[in-house]
Amino acid sequence: MPVYNIIQAVNDALRLEMRKNPRVVVLGEDVGRFGGVFRATTGLQEEFGKDRVMDTPLAEAGIIGTAIGMALYGLRPVAEIQFADFIFPAFDQIVNELAKFRYRSGGEYPAPMVIRTPYGGGIRGGHYHSQSPEALFAHTAGLKVIIPSNPYDAKGLLLTALRDEDPVMFLEPKRVYRAARGEVPEGEYTIPFGQAKIVREGQGLTVLCYGAMLHVVMEALEKQGAAEFDPEVIDLRSLVPLDTETILESVRKTGRVVIVHEAQKTCGFGAELSALIAEKALLHLEAPIVRVCGLDTPFPYTLEMEYLPSPERITKAIADTARF
């Protein structure tokens, strides 16, 4: 079984589905001859030609608008936005048009497409290459929001996304694009949306995380001593749809919760998780819900690692919650 990083897993998924389904097309800035800024589409144009792997102008609204038209006319476009920070010129196209076609047409006109984009910090990208906008899209009815943390999940979830009838926001944690490595089966396999993964079983408390933060949580357990509090670690994988059953079952077992994500704290996805737990499992809680998140500031450059959740911050939150 080959060992891939996330970039290689994404490339493999795209290549397999493009071979199987001639309606799948890829478009975006530098995705063709250059293979994408992170090389996730390397070799696709050589194999499938310029008609199916298209370099576009630097115009995100144009990329998404064109992809929407393709989807409505029967293609299955995969639009790449180089960095999640660049997606905002296309925000109107995504939330006001793409997310609503199925609903407004009574199901007659679905727009099946995937928007791939690297998100998050950890690469010293500064203000405009490090943001985590997942909550904005999770707040928009009609979109599915998927965030893998490792190569195995990246391939399986992307193949599911490529076959889904609804638009999928596929956010890839660039901090661990190459650092996260693992065995990935050859050939096709899919991972269902709305199915979280229990990475570590435990009884002491529940830790909810996703994307690159899973690796920071595991570092806290391995190097900072947080494992002594016996946390159960859950990788959400899918924000919309959300695996509420797995989350609530764990919370009812442990009675304590720590939520970790790198987007800023106020109105981040952790707020939705906190509300869900308070509504559905309040009487099982033995301590306040704790969020370890990015700070409520623009993403900094020189203070990047102070902004992002660290193993030390996570360990303190776990210890304080366990001892409450």
Domain ranges of the chain: 3-183, 197-323
Distance CA 128, CA 247 (A): 33
Burial category of 94 from C-beta neighbours within 10 Å (exposed 0-12, middle 13-18, buried 19 and up): buried
Burial category of 87 from C-beta neighbours within 10 Å (exposed 0-12, middle 13-18, buried 19 and up): buried
pLDDT value of residue 311: 96
- pLDDT tens by residue, 235-258: 999 999 999 999 999 999 999 999
Tokens of 16: 């397999």
Of 127, 129, 139, 261, catalytic: 129
Residue 126 clears pLDDT 90, i.e. is over it: no
pLDDT value of residue 125: 86
Distance CA 26, CA 219 (A): 35
**Is the pTM of the predicted complex or chain greater than 0.95?**
yes
> Distances from the Cα of 246 to the Cαs of 166, 206, 253, 269, in angstroms?
24, 11, 11, 17
Instruction: Identify the band that residue 227 occupies on the pLDDT scale cut at 50, 70 and 90.
Output: very high
- pLDDT tens by residue, 12-65: 999 999 999 999 999 999 999 999 999 999 999 999 999 999 999 999 999 999
> Distances from the Cα of 317 to the Cαs of 231, 233, 305, 311, 313, in angstroms?
12, 14, 17, 10, 6
Mean predicted confidence (pLDDT) in 70-83: 97
Q: Which of these, 128, 130, 116, lies nearest to 171 by C-alpha position?
A: 116
pLDDT > 90 fraction of the chain, expressed in percent and rounded:
95
pLDDT value of residue 224: 85
Residue 132 clears pLDDT 90, i.e. is over it: yes
pLDDT value of residue 223: 87
Q: Which of these, 95, 30, 100, 93, lies nearest to 64 by C-alpha position?
A: 93
pLDDT value of residue 312: 96
Distance CA 150, CA 50 (A): 30
pLDDT value of residue 161: 98
CA dihedral 52, 56, 61, 65 (to 10 degrees): -30
What kind and span of H or E run contains 251?
helix 244-254
Residue 225 clears pLDDT 90, i.e. is over it: no
Q: In residues, how long is the chain?
A: 324
Residue 304 clears pLDDT 90, i.e. is over it: yes
Q: Computed from CA positions of residues 305, 307, 311, 316, in that sequence, does the dihedral angle turn out positive or negative?
A: positive
Equal fold, 3-183 vs 197-323: yes
pLDDT value of residue 322: 97
Helix 244-254 × helix 269-281 angle, to 10°? 60
Backbone angles phi, psi at 33, to 5 degrees: -60, -35
Looking at domain 3-183, its CATH superfamily turns out to be Thiamin diphosphate (ThDP)-binding fold, Pyr/PP domains (3.40.50.970)
Per the prediction, the chain carries an average pLDDT of 97
Active site residue 284: no
The distance of Cα 53 from the centroid of its chain, to the nearest Å, equals 23
User: Side-chain half-sphere of 141: how many Cα atoms within 13 Å?
Assistant: 4
Q: Which listed CATH number (3.40.190.10, 3.40.50.1370, 3.30.930.10, 3.40.50.920) goes with 197-323?
A: 3.40.50.920
